[in-house]
Amino acid sequence: MGKISIDEPRRRLELALRPAEPPTVEEVLEEVSRHGVLRGPVDWVFQAWMLYVEYATQEITKTFRLSEEERSQLLDFRDALKRLLLEAWMQTKEKLTTLYKAVAEGTYRVEGNRLYAPDGTWIYIGGATSRLKIHGVSASARFPDLLKLPHERLELLQLGWRASDESELDGRPFMQTAQPWQVLAWIATRYGVVYTYIASVTLTHQG
């Protein structure tokens, strides 16, 4: 029976926890444009996500004619997303720090494809990526109708998402993504009350 090496998980934990300067809007947009996703140290990535949400919100208010009610809904949605990102950031940092301490001190244990710290904190380390579960980070918020399209045209956009990245959960449209641009692009076609949650954080060989 094979044994999982701890070297790669240790390296990924070190990458995720290394110090980083706060991101700039230009850096975030470049990263999203090139890779679609945001990668790097935990402190950089979560701040980059929040910066992207803020930037996108500002661009939406410049581009679309919004009523006061729609503007208020958009800003509330922005605040909800940023609050979730902050909660996930703190939870992720705490768990990864706990796991790294366990690895550094040799107090970890490996069961199957999971690496455990003494307090029960664990991360999945099998396969090409390591994945940390996030718990209890969710919210519902209303997103306004930005596009104001006739139903027939809106349905065409929805069909496009359905044929690609959208799936269904409990009979409702569902999107799982690590790409910031997809969040708002998809929600624009599924406006109304949106339930959002952050389920996990993935550690790759680049952070």
Is 207 in contact with 45 (CB distance < 8 Å)? yes
Q: Name the pairing type of β-strands 138-143 and 130-133.
A: unpaired
- Quote the pLDDT of residue 205: 81
Rounded to an integer, the average pLDDT of 45-52 is 98
- Quote the pLDDT of residue 3: 54
Question: How large a percentage of the chain has pLDDT more than 90?
Answer: 92
Number of residues that make up the chain: 207
Which residue stretches of 25-150 are H helix? 25-35, 42-63, 68-105
Segments making up each domain of the chain, as ranges: 7-135+196-203
pLDDT of 51 higher than 90? yes
Is 53 in contact with 82 (CB distance < 8 Å)? yes
Each residue's pLDDT tens digit, 110-137: 999 999 999 999 999 987 789 999 999 9
- Quote the pLDDT of residue 207: 72
Distances (CA, A) of 118 to 18, 192, 201: 22, 43, 21
- Quote the pLDDT of residue 129: 83
- Quote the pLDDT of residue 2: 46
- Quote the pLDDT of residue 1: 36
Measured in degrees and rounded to the nearest 5, phi and psi for residue 59 equal -65, -35
Each residue's pLDDT tens digit, 68-94: 999 999 999 999 999 999 999 999 999
Is 116 in contact with 108 (CB distance < 8 Å)? yes
pLDDT of 165 higher than 60? yes
The residue with greater pLDDT, 207 or 186, is 186
Q: What is the DSSP letter of 24?
A: P
Question: How large a percentage of the chain has pLDDT more than 70?
Answer: 98
The residue with greater pLDDT, 7 or 51, is 51
Nearest by Cα to 15 from 35, 41, 36: 41
Is 145 in contact with 136 (CB distance < 8 Å)? no
